[in-house]
Amino acid sequence: MAQKKYDIFISYRRDGGAQYARILQLMLIQRGYSVFLDYDELRDGNFNDKIRAAVIEAPVFMIVMSENALVRCVNEDDWVREEISLAIKENKHIIPVNPDNKFNGVPDGLPENIKTALLQNQYSEVNFGQALGVTVEMMINDRLVPSLGKRDTQQHYDSSYDAAMETLRKADQHNKFIKHLGLTAAIVIILLVFATCSYLLLNQRQKDSRAENKELLASKRAELEKQYSSYNLYLDKNLSLQQMQTIEDILEKMVVVKPDALWMSQFECTVDQWYGIMGGGYDQSMSGMPMTNVSYGEICFYIIKLNRLLNGVEFSLPSAEEWEYAAHGGAYHETTLYVGGDDVDKVAWYKDNSGNRAHRSDGQQGKLPNILDLYDMSGNVGEFCNTAFVSDTSNTLYTVCGGGFRSDASEVTASSKVGIDVNAKDDAVGFRLIAIKK
């Protein structure tokens, strides 16, 4: 007959009995017996199949009767109770062990078969002190040898509680080291596998993303070229999505000044339109604000870069003459003092109502446009024109039309013009684009 894997199953209550059970297991193993102790098992949920198999397999069922060990056995789902019940059912040799005479009795409410099994079996008194080895030997000779036989004792075995505890300490330290070593190796392997998988996945995602992005850009480019076919628009194939969205925003806000010849932006060029072409980060809360603090040269560079991204239409700054023509309503020849009307407060942000700051250029700030639907040509920010300003200074000046938020009412008329140095930057000066069909 094949030898059984376990000779003894040790049942115990974790609260107060775990240390007794571990020492008892050590002493028995050192004396040649194979012992099952579920020290590393978690005792919750359904009765563990591994525990059930071990109870059935081991001929001897040893229960550590520590203080209050049986109190919770009145509960039907208690694991210790289930272990005892299974041992009784399988007709195991039950050996109750009373460590240091601390067992305080069988409580009321236990099933009769458990009471009988525990009370009719003699308790083995084991002293967990200097007499540990002696009392264990007595238990082995009296209770185990008759049913399991005598076993060969290991060359080294512990005879006292202190010696047994030192052996357990060394074993725990060794097991902890091995566990940490194994855990470290497992983590390294997992990290390597994860890094490899992540790299491959990221690489594939990047390929997929590039393909999807390429397809998206091509679709967006075709859509824009069709939508603005009246401009004979052709977009560069290397445009980013942000650049296309900015170009779409710019084109969407152009209004006709001269049919099929000249278009002008409804609004002053905004911060988001600037960075959408130039790139770089900016404060998103400023996205709808006029782009200011840029010199004439920087504006020209912006326009050059914008024009390189498309064909069919050419953007530029208006000349002072074109600006004033649009301000007066083009062919409608509006004769109002300010762009959009004669009441400055209805059409312009200027010194008396601006709060000394620029306002969003989006048509939603309560000011009226002119007949061509052009906003903020009077006030808000002055607008660079592509026309030199004649003065008696030696500096190169360019014309700024319309006045700004710091200007007096007399300086924001439809005909207001001032000169500004070509290199100057001002927080009250921006610009407005025109588009000419090539």
C-beta contacts of 212-217 below 8 A and 24+ residues apart: 213/241, 216/241, 217/241, 217/244
Q: Assess whether 38 and 146 both reside in one domain.
A: yes
* Residue with the two structure tokens 């203080």: 67
Domain with 204, as residue range(s), is 161-227
Residue type, 72: R
Q: Assess whether 165 and 152 both reside in one domain.
A: no
User: Residue 366 falls within a domain, yes or no?
Assistant: yes
User: Residue 1 falls within a domain, yes or no?
Assistant: no
Model pLDDT, residue 101: 86
**Tally of helices (H runs) and strands (E runs) in the chain:** 12, 15
Model pLDDT, residue 107: 86
Q: Whose CA is closest to 435, among 275, 317, 320, 266?
A: 317
Q: How far apart are CA 351 and CA 56, in angstroms?
A: 96
Q: Assess whether 198 and 150 both reside in one domain.
A: no
Q: Assess whether 140 and 21 both reside in one domain.
A: yes
Q: Assess whether 46 and 168 both reside in one domain.
A: no
Contact (Cβ atoms closer than 8 angstroms) between residue 164 and residue 132:
yes
Rounded to 5 degrees, φ, ψ at 352 are: -85, -15
Q: Assess whether 153 and 122 both reside in one domain.
A: yes
Q: Assess whether 82 and 179 both reside in one domain.
A: no
Model pLDDT, residue 214: 79
Token pair in block for residue 310: 């498309």
Q: Pseudo-torsion of CA 407, 413, 418, 420, nearest 10°?
A: 60
User: Residue 410 falls within a domain, yes or no?
Assistant: yes
Strands 434-437 vs 262-265: parallel, antiparallel or unpaired:
antiparallel
Question: Of 199, 227, 255, which residue sits at a domain end?
Answer: 227
Model pLDDT, residue 308: 93
Burial category of 427 from C-beta neighbours within 10 Å (exposed 0-12, middle 13-18, buried 19 and up)? middle
CATH assignment of the domain containing 389: 3.90.1580.10
Overall number of domains in the chain: 3
User: Residue 244 falls within a domain, yes or no?
Assistant: yes
Cα–Cα separations (whole angstroms), residue 379 to 6, 235, 329, 415: 96, 34, 17, 12
Q: Assess whether 250 and 342 both reside in one domain.
A: yes
Residue type, 97: V
Q: Whose CA is closest to 28, among 2, 10, 54, 52?
A: 10
* Residue with the two structure tokens 């059984």: 4
Q: Whose CA is closest to 128, among 30, 35, 20?
A: 20
User: Residue 238 falls within a domain, yes or no?
Assistant: yes
CATH assignment of the domain containing 46: 3.40.50.10140
Question: Of 176, 204, 227, which residue sits at a domain end?
Answer: 227
pTM of the model: 0.55
Model pLDDT, residue 389: 93
Contact (Cβ atoms closer than 8 angstroms) between residue 282 and residue 292:
no
- Angle between helical axes of 14-30 and 161-227 (0-180°, round to 10): 110
Q: Assess whether 218 and 256 both reside in one domain.
A: no
pLDDT in 10s for each residue of the chain, 438 residues: 344 689 999 999 888 888 999 999 999 999 999 999 886 544 444 568 888 999 999 999 999 998 888 988 889 888 899 999 999 999 999 999 999 888 888 888 888 888 888 888 888 889 998 999 999 999 999 999 999 999 999 888 899 989 989 988 998 888 888 888 888 888 889 888 888 888 888 888 777 677 777 788 888 888 888 888 878 888 888 888 899 899 999 999 999 999 988 999 999 999 999 999 999 989 999 999 999 999 999 999 999 999 999 998 999 999 999 999 999 999 999 999 999 999 999 999 999 999 999 999 999 999 999 999 999 999 999 999 999 998 887 788 999 999 999 999 999 999 999 999 999 999 999 999 999 987
* Residue with the two structure tokens 């920010």: 381
Residue type, 299: I
Instruction: Count the helix, strand and coil residues of the chain and give each as a percent rounded to the nearest 5.
Output: 45, 15, 40
Question: Of 137, 159, 181, which residue sits at a domain end?
Answer: 159
Q: Assess whether 197 and 69 both reside in one domain.
A: no
The helix (H) or strand (E) run that includes residue 23 is helix 14-30
Distance linking the first and last C-alpha atoms of the chain = 102
Q: What is the DSSP letter of 6?
A: -
Q: Assess whether 140 and 169 both reside in one domain.
A: no
Model pLDDT, residue 35: 94
Q: Assess whether 324 and 194 both reside in one domain.
A: no
Model pLDDT, residue 39: 61
Contact (Cβ atoms closer than 8 angstroms) between residue 375 and residue 267:
yes
Query: SS3 sequence, 404-426?
Result: CCCCCHHHCCCCCEEEEECCCCC
Residues pairing with 421 in the sheet: 397
User: Residue 146 falls within a domain, yes or no?
Assistant: yes
User: Residue 3 falls within a domain, yes or no?
Assistant: no
User: Residue 398 falls within a domain, yes or no?
Assistant: yes
